[in-house]
A = this chain, B = another copy of it.
Amino acid sequence: MAVNKRPVKITDTILRDAHQSLIATRMKTEDMLPIVEKLDKVGYHSVECWGGATFDACLRFLKEDPWERLRKLRDGFKNTKLQMLLRGQNILGYRHYADDVVEYFVQKTIANGIDILRIFDALNDPRNLKTAIDATKKEGGHAQIAISYTLSEVHTLEYYAKLAKQLEDMGADSICIKDMAGLLVPYSATELVKTLKETVKVPIQLHAHYTSGVAAMTYLKAVEAGADIIDTAMSPFSMGTAQPATEVMVETFKGTPYDTGFDQDLLSEIADYFRPQREKALESGLMNPKVLGVNIKTLLYQVPGGMLSNLVSQLQKQNAEDKFYDVLEEIPRVRADYGYPPLVTPSSQIVGTQAVLNVLSGQRYKMVTKESKALVRGEYGRTPVPISDEIKKIIIGNEKQITCRPADLIKPELKKIESEMTRYKQQDEDVLSYALFSQVAEDFFKYREAQQTKVDPNMADKDNKVYPV
């Protein structure tokens, strides 16, 4: 091919999203460190290794300090940029935090070794991203803004172009199309990537999950259309609900203008390292073969796989499985009523549960969840399109909608949080662990103390992962 060379760059998710997607985020730091030296030699654009659910999983299940993990990884990766996933104003938790917590978190994250922060918001409300972007840039980090990809009549190419331009204007150093549900089909990727490349100057990265079976093809078409970076995972933790395999994409582009130039022998050694972990996880049941299959339903109903299985179990509890298709038809209607939020956490649960209630109660919005009210009240941020006065009236009556950025209503809270946990504090970063997951962090702090003081280690209830001090 006589085309100019345009090597595609690769972010490997093996240390974050790959194991989060396939083995419930259970990869330990000790499972990572022995292979870091080789990973560092590949030539990756970056290695995603922190954030997402790893922070919670470290504290809750692995009894590890996530900050300590980050420092160890930073220590090992001499040449490769480290990347993380940050949920905007939610940081890594499930509520909006005050700006002082977000700023402090970003500061410590970069100080401990993260180079690239991928920042996203479930509603794609730029205001929920602003504090994190500004903090990242202030600390000298790379602010990558991720657009939560979804399908609806308002999520047109024009919508995405306008949003991308706005994010670039806000200071995004790169933009990521984040397709958490595997909804972006190959030829739609061609159009979307072309549109974004025509609209913004910053690099475009694509993050997709293999769940619906199209992700590798989607990457191929996206790269042909001009995507600069793709997210892949080393083959033993690839595909299924995770990313396309690194070695496969590298081989696919070999000898083409998009050739990564990576050394397959080196990748092969890395895969050999991780393969026993996959086999062990399959044997123990930690990896369920079901996550390795194709779930095409997500494409047919334009609804993420996790949301579909939630619906089934909600309906089963009510002995109303026969209403499954009625609920599936109700979902896009509720979504339209609610201003077309992308179907990701938490809006996927809110829309799904409300659709179930609307069908089972026999009258739409006869019963309304408090989360529905919060969404309509604007507490999660601004929905892609405004919610009609009619729906507002039905859901929240005469209550006022929040029109400001939700975090504007949250007073600085860092000092108060710190004051609650001083007793356990061994490093500044502990304040942030406690801010995000107070109970879990406290349990971890107690466990850490017990380990350090060797108090009654035999009393540890290992099955329940509860450790007395």
The residues of A with any CB-CB pair to B shorter than 8 Å are 1, 185-187, 212-214, 216-217, 220-221, 235-236, 238-239, 244-245, 247-248, 251-252, 254-256, 264-265, 267-268, 271, 278-279, 282, 287, 289-290, 292-294, 296-297, 299-300
Q: Is the CB of B251 within 8 A of A214?
A: yes
Q: Is the CB of A268 within 8 A of B297?
A: yes
Q: Is the CB of B252 within 8 A of A296?
A: no
Q: Is the CB of A245 within 8 A of B187?
A: no
Q: Which of A213, A216, A244, A290 has the most CB of B within 10 A?
A: A213
Q: Is the CB of A212 within 8 A of B296?
A: no
Known: A214-B251, A220-B220. 16 other contacts (CB 8 A): A185-B251, A187-B256, A213-B238, A213-B245, A217-B252, A235-B293, A236-B293, A238-B294, A247-B294, A251-B296, A264-B296, A268-B297, A268-B300, A278-B293, A289-B292, A292-B293
* Whole-angstrom CA separation of A294 from B243 in the bound complex: 12
How far in angstroms is the closest Cβ of chain B from A35?
17
* Whole-angstrom CA separation of A217 from B185 in the bound complex: 12
Once A251-B214, A252-B186 are accepted as A-B contacts, the answer to whether A294 and B220 lie under 8 Å apart by CB is: no
User: Which B residues lie within 8 Å of A216 (CB)?
Assistant: 213-214, 216-217
Q: Is the CB of B292 within 8 A of A292?
A: yes
Can you tell how many copies of this chain the complex includes?
2
* Whole-angstrom CA separation of A282 from B297 in the bound complex: 21
User: Which B residues lie within 8 Å of A238 (CB)?
Assistant: 213, 294
Q: Is the CB of A247 within 8 A of B289?
A: no
Partner of A187, one of B252, B278, B294: B252
Nearest B residue to A251 via CB reads: B299
* Whole-angstrom CA separation of A235 from B296 in the bound complex: 8
* Whole-angstrom CA separation of A185 from B220 in the bound complex: 12
Partner of A248, one of B235, B282, B290, B294: B294
* Whole-angstrom CA separation of A213 from B215 in the bound complex: 11
Nearest B residue to A1 via CB reads: B187
Partner of A214, one of B248, B278, B296: B248
Q: Is the CB of B245 within 8 A of A296?
A: yes
Nearest B residue to A244 via CB reads: B213
How far in angstroms is the closest Cβ of chain B from A175?
24
Q: Is the CB of B186 within 8 A of A220?
A: yes
What DSSP secondary structure best describes chain A's contact surface?
helix
User: Which B residues lie within 8 Å of A1 (CB)?
Assistant: 187
* Whole-angstrom CA separation of A297 from B216 in the bound complex: 18
How far in angstroms is the closest Cβ of chain B from A232?
11
How far in angstroms is the closest Cβ of chain B from A135?
39
Q: Is the CB of B296 within 8 A of A289?
A: no
Q: Which of A220, A235, A292, A293 has the most CB of B within 10 A?
A: A293
Partner of A296, one of B220, B256, B268, B278: B268
User: Which B residues lie within 8 Å of A300 (CB)?
Assistant: 251, 264-265, 268
Once A235-B296, A296-B271 are accepted as A-B contacts, the answer to whether A214 and B252 lie under 8 Å apart by CB is: yes
Q: Which of A1, A220, A254 has the most CB of B within 10 A?
A: A220
* Whole-angstrom CA separation of A214 from B185 in the bound complex: 16
Nearest B residue to A300 via CB reads: B264
User: Which B residues lie within 8 Å of A293 (CB)?
Assistant: 235-236, 239, 278, 292
How far in angstroms is the closest Cβ of chain B from A376?
33
How far in angstroms is the closest Cβ of chain B from A5?
14
Q: Is the CB of A294 within 8 A of B214?
A: no
User: Which B residues lie within 8 Å of A271 (CB)?
Assistant: 296
How far in angstroms is the closest Cβ of chain B from A344?
21
Q: Is the CB of A239 within 8 A of B213?
A: yes
Nearest B residue to A239 via CB reads: B294
Nearest B residue to A264 via CB reads: B300
Q: Is the CB of B294 within 8 A of A235?
A: yes
User: Which B residues lie within 8 Å of A289 (CB)?
Assistant: 282, 287, 289, 292
Nearest B residue to A215 via CB reads: B216
Once A187-B255, A217-B217, A217-B220 are accepted as A-B contacts, the answer to whether A248 and B292 lie under 8 Å apart by CB is: no
User: Which B residues lie within 8 Å of A212 (CB)?
Assistant: 248, 251
User: Which B residues lie within 8 Å of A294 (CB)?
Assistant: 235, 238-239, 245, 247-248
